[in-house]
Amino acid sequence: MNSPVKVAVTGAAGQIGYSLLFRIASGALLGPDTPVELRLLEITPALKALEGVVMELDDCAFPTLAKVEIGDDATKVFDGVNHALLVGARPRGPGMERGDLLEANGGIFAPQGKALNDVAADDIRVTVTGNPANTNALIAMSNAPDIPTERFSALTRLDHNRAISQLAAKLGVPVTEIRRMTIWGNHSATQYPDLFHAEVSGQNAAEAVGDQEWLANTFIPTVAKRGAAIIEARGASSAASAASATIDHARTWVEGTAEGDWVSMAVRSDGSYGVPEGLVSSFPVTVKDGRWEIVQGLEIDEFSRGKIDASVAELDEERKAVTELGLLG
């Protein structure tokens, strides 16, 4: 057995937490040979509920769960952590857009960024799931000047997985036949799931679909508005699928991408594909040895350009809004 890896989860008593913790503890993130020490952060009123979740974790007797610590003080909980999964934030309700959460949730991520900056391990990797995820990651990053910016990311893997699943269903193929899916931009209704660079059994996905009408008017809105459809159906936002995607994202960051494939991650733009530098925007990325790189050289046609620009414009607006709220460090 290796020595324990410290994984922080915020919002640990929430819906996503209830799926996520058991998967991490059972080895789904770091594998069967790496013990995990869970560091769980909650707000004070939720600590009692969290104690109940910890009892359940104990009762699973997971061989890979070395230790669990809980608390409401980010500086203590984040001490020495190697991974931080920042989930804790309010979810939207019916009729809201994720951007409506900016003011309520943005304030959570500045102090958490500062606490990570002060006490996290040198190899810290931060994944933001709490919405609006891209801009919350920007807030955390800008409040953590000593942590390299490439260690911050936001979750668009759920959108990526949704896009794979919709495409596989349309073409009647297993999801394993699909590679090189890309979500561009914001984790919001403006996101752009791109079939022009995806592949199905080695064939270009847009060509395999052969139906621009479906691509533009069914596929893209179905993926982009899936979160709202789930809220409408369940009366609560996606939780198990969000937890699963959070694991996929963080595990890929550790293990790397498969040869010839890539994944979608929202990361700090270096100006690639005309996305203004500094915005946390979703890109196709490859990961090797724990480091991600934006896939370069993809041709972007006029249709894709318009979609990427619209989502990036929204991210720019969000950045302006949080700047005005004084949330950027």
> Which are the catalytic amino acids?
187
Query: How far, in Å, CA of 69 to CA of 83, rounded?
Result: 15
Q: Which does 166 bind (CB under 5 to 8 A by kind): ligand NAD, ligand LMR, none?
A: none
Residues 113-172 that bind ligand NAD (CB under 6 A): 129-131, 133, 155, 158
For position 328 contacting ligand NAD by CB under 6 A, the verdict is: no
Please identify which residue in 1, 43, 175, 216 interacts with ligand NAD, judged by CB under 6 A: 43
For position 23 contacting ligand NAD by CB under 6 A, the verdict is: no
Closest CB to ligand NAD among residues 135, 142: 135
Residue 169 contacts by C-beta under 8 Å, 6 or more apart in sequence?
none
Q: Which of 246, 283, 243 is nearest to 262 (CA)?
A: 283
Closest CB to ligand LMR among residues 92, 307: 92
Closest CB to ligand LMR among residues 154, 206: 154
Tell me if 261 sits within 8 A of 273, measured CB to CB.
Answer: no
Instruction: Please report how the helices 133-142 and 102-119 are oriented relative to each other, as an axis angle in degrees rounded to 10.
Output: 40
- For the bound state, the minimum distance from the C-beta of residue 210 to ligand NAD, rounded and expressed in Å, comes to 30
Q: Which residue is nearest to ligand LMR (CB)?
A: 227
Q: Which does 42 bind (CB under 5 to 8 A by kind): ligand LMR, ligand NAD, none?
A: ligand NAD
- Residue 89 in tokens: 């934030």
Q: Which does 108 bind (CB under 5 to 8 A by kind): ligand NAD, ligand LMR, none?
A: ligand NAD
Q: Which part of the chain contacts ligand NAD (CB under 6 A), choosing from 11-19, 114-122, 200-208, 295-303?
A: 11-19
Q: Which does 46 bind (CB under 5 to 8 A by kind): ligand LMR, ligand NAD, none?
A: ligand NAD
Closest CB to ligand NAD among residues 160, 170: 160
For position 16 contacting ligand NAD by CB under 6 A, the verdict is: yes
Residues at the site binding ligand LMR, with contacts judged by CB under 6 A: 91-92, 98, 131, 158, 227-228, 230, 237-238, 242
Residues 81-100 that bind ligand NAD (CB under 6 A): 87-92
- Phi/psi region, residue 220 (left: phi>0; alpha: psi -120 to 50; beta: rest), is alpha
Q: Which does 230 bind (CB under 5 to 8 A by kind): ligand NAD, ligand LMR, none?
A: ligand LMR
Looking at the DSSP bridge assignments, the partners of residue 70 are 40
Q: Which of 284, 282, 244, 290 is nearest to 263 (CA)?
A: 284
Per DSSP bridges, beta strands 182-184 and 192-194 are antiparallel
Which residues belong to the annotated binding site for substrate? 92, 98, 131, 162
Query: Can you tell me which residue has the tokens 């080695």?
Result: 202
User: What single-letter amino acid sits at 217?
Assistant: N
Closest CB to ligand NAD among residues 154, 208: 154
Residues counted in the chain? 329
The CA dihedral of 228, 229, 231, 232, to the nearest 10 degrees, is 120
CA 15 to chain centre: 16
For position 10 contacting ligand NAD by CB under 6 A, the verdict is: yes
For residue 282, with 0-12 CB atoms within 10 Å meaning exposed, 13-18 middle and 19 or more buried, which class applies? buried
The DSSP secondary structure of 6-32, one letter per residue, reads EEEEESTTSHHHHHHHHHHHTTTTT-T
| Element of type H or E holding 199 | strand 199-200
Closest CB to ligand LMR among residues 234, 305: 234
Residues that bind ligand NAD (CB under 6 A): 10-11, 13-17, 41-43, 46, 87-92, 108, 129-131, 133, 155, 158, 187, 237-239, 242
